[in-house]
Amino acid sequence: MTALGVWTIASMGLILLAGLDMLVYGESFYKACWHLLFDYTHVPAFVMIGAALLLAGWGDAGAAVLRRLRALRIREERK
């Protein structure tokens, strides 16, 4: 859920930035997204977004593993 949240917030943020670029430069939404996504100077930004998603996903995966282990332990105790 954390990764989904980070992905949702990142997507909405990128849409907001593209929308503001549309207003400033008077270009279409498609062009604004193109300039946002396909610009080599923006690579560090997408690396950070990727790191945020990875961090969130790692946390979710870790939590899922812990839940599974807890469920197995409870099942063992009931036996």
- Residue closer to another protein by CB (options 37, 69) is 37
Radius of gyration, CA atoms only, the chain: 20
| Site of interaction with another protein (CB under 8 A) | 1-2, 4-6, 8-10, 12-14, 16-17, 19-20, 23-24, 36, 41-42, 44-46, 48-49, 51-53, 55-56, 59, 63
Cα 63 to Cα 69: distance, rounded to the nearest angstrom: 10
Where does residue 15 rank: exposed (0-12), middle (13-18), buried (19+ CB within 10 A)? middle
Paired tokens of 31: 């062009």
- Residue closer to another protein by CB (options 19, 73) is 19
- Residue closer to another protein by CB (options 24, 79) is 24
